[in-house]
Structure formats: structure tokens, C-alpha cells
Amino acid sequence: MSKILYNNLEQSLLLKNSNVIKVSDRSISYHTDFKVKAVREYLTGKTPNQIFIENGFNLELIGYEKPK
């Protein structure tokens, strides 16, 4: 389980990303299309952090370890 706790404002910001289905105080659920796209991009050599940044995620908000 994540050590990061998302407050209401952070949850609202995360929900604005079309790749996110839902957010709780401890977890983010990603859209299936994003998961498939992320795996494909990873197989082409992109890093997990690069994939998340290019898909509109703020790593300071979600945590730098989350993409891994």
C-alpha cells in the first residue's frame, strides 16, 4: 500500500487526467487504455517516469516511485 496520502485537492487534480479512472486517499486507478499504451511505450525503450510525464502526470504529486 502506498505511503502517499492524497488530499481532496490532489485527488481532484489527478481525476482531471483522462488516464485516471478513480482516486482514493491512497491509490490511483488507471484507465485500461493507458496501461496498454504504457506497456507498449516501455517495450520501445521509454522509462516509466518518462511515460507518466508524457501522459500528463506530475511526479511530484504522485511520487517518483509510483510509475515503477
- The pLDDT of residue 1 is above 70: no
Looking at the domain assignment, is residue 67 inside a domain? no
Looking at the domain assignment, is residue 30 inside a domain? yes
- The pLDDT of residue 50 is above 90: yes
Looking at the domain assignment, is residue 68 inside a domain? no
- Give the DSSP per-residue string, 11-55: HHHHHTSTTEEEE-SS-EEE-HHHHHHHHHHHHTT--HHHHHHHT
The pLDDT tens digits of the residues spanning 23-47 come to 999 999 999 999 999 999 999 999 9
Domain that holds residue 50: 8-62
Looking at the domain assignment, is residue 2 inside a domain? no
